[in-house]
């Protein structure tokens, strides 16, 4: 884990994570969809934990609405950026910490637990399960847990096709185009069916699974050229179809939403 932390420190220190979710129309789809689903399950007075909070885009959004938020983030550069944006009236605490060890929090502490980043950077099934176990442990019974992961085939579309690296895929994929688990490549991916089967091992009830950006990353060049009226139509289409299994595999990010038993 220390090796991965160092890799992430180097990566995020040179990457504008703060602007990622809001820098253009295509990237906004992920944020708008994720908050739409969080809002669906969020109740007044709920206490929120965000694990892998990055620079705090979600934590700060909900703290600005009056919710009490605890945030844990692995990389120092992201934490430093996060803290720059905390306003005096916000009830939010940002801690440097690890998704694999949430021992700073007691069992059954939060109504909503967001795990919207850690699974991207965990490269063994054991570590992924440990992060999920910890998220479940600190969530109250009937509390909601949101777990995001990156799909396999978005790598083929974006890195391979859009960025002109099809000839290099043999270095990062096996013969079936399954992306290999290579920590130096920063991001880990999952197949939807595999992730669903893994989640059956945990004491949760699945509520839904959402392709939070759908085709928006693959079609970003077109989406960013849309007028405001056209963009509204695209969002309406996306919102009405983002739970469709037959479209989900080409989304960059999928969020698995479940309830603790």
Res. 258: pLDDT tops 90:
yes
Which pLDDT belongs to residue 163? Answer: 93
Domain boundaries, position 254: 2-260
Res. 20: pLDDT tops 90:
no
Q: What is the average per-residue pLDDT within 23-47?
A: 96
pLDDT digit string, tens, across residues 210-255: 999 999 989 999 999 999 999 999 999 999 999 999 999 999 999 9
Which pLDDT belongs to residue 137? Answer: 98
For residue 57, give the CATH number of its domain.
3.40.50.150
Please provide the average confidence, as pLDDT, over all residues in the chain.
92
Which pLDDT belongs to residue 10? Answer: 65
pLDDT digit string, tens, across residues 46-93: 999 999 999 999 999 999 999 999 999 998 889 999 999 999 999 999
pLDDT digit string, tens, across residues 99-115: 999 999 999 999 999 99
Torsion of CA 39, 33, 20, 86, to 10 degrees: -10
What is the tally of structural domains in the chain?
Answer: 1
Which pLDDT belongs to residue 63? Answer: 97
Structure tokens, 252? 């960059």
Q: Which residues contact 17 (CB under 8 A, 6 or more apart)?
A: 54, 55, 78, 81
């Amino acid at each position: 884990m220390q090796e991965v932390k160092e890799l992430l420190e180097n990566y995020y220190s040179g990457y504008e994570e703060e602007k990622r979710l809001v820098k253009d129309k295509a990237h906004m789809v992920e944020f708008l969809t994720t908050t739409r689903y969080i809002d669906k399950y969020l109740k007044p007075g709920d206490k929120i934990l965000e694990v892998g909070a990055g620079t705090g885009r979600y934590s700060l959004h909900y703290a600005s609405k009056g919710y009490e938020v605890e945030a844990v983030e692995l990389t120092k550069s992201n934490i430093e950026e996060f803290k720059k944006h905390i306003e005096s009236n916000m009830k939010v605490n940002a801690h440097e910490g690890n998704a694999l060890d949430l021992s700073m929090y007691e069992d059954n502490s939060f109504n909503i637990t967001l795990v919207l980043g850690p699974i991207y950077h965990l490269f063994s099934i054991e570590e992924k399960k440990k992060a999920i176990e910890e998220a479940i442990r600190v969530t109250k019974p009937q509390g909601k847990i949101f777990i995001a992961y990156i799909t396999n085939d978005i790598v083929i579309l974006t890195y391979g096709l859009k960025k002109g690296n099809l000839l290099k895929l043999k270095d990062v994929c096996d013969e079936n185009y399954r992306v290999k688990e290579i920590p130096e490549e920063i991001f880990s991916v999952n197949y939807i069916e595999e992730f669903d089967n893994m989640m059956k091992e945990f004491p949760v009830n699945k509520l839904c699974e959402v392709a939070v950006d759908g085709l928006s990353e693959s079609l970003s060049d077109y989406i960013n050229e849309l007028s405001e009226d056209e963009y509204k139509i695209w969002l309406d289409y996306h919102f009405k179809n983002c739970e469709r299994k037959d479209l989900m595999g080409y989304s960059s990010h999928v969020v698995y939403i479940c309830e603790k038993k």
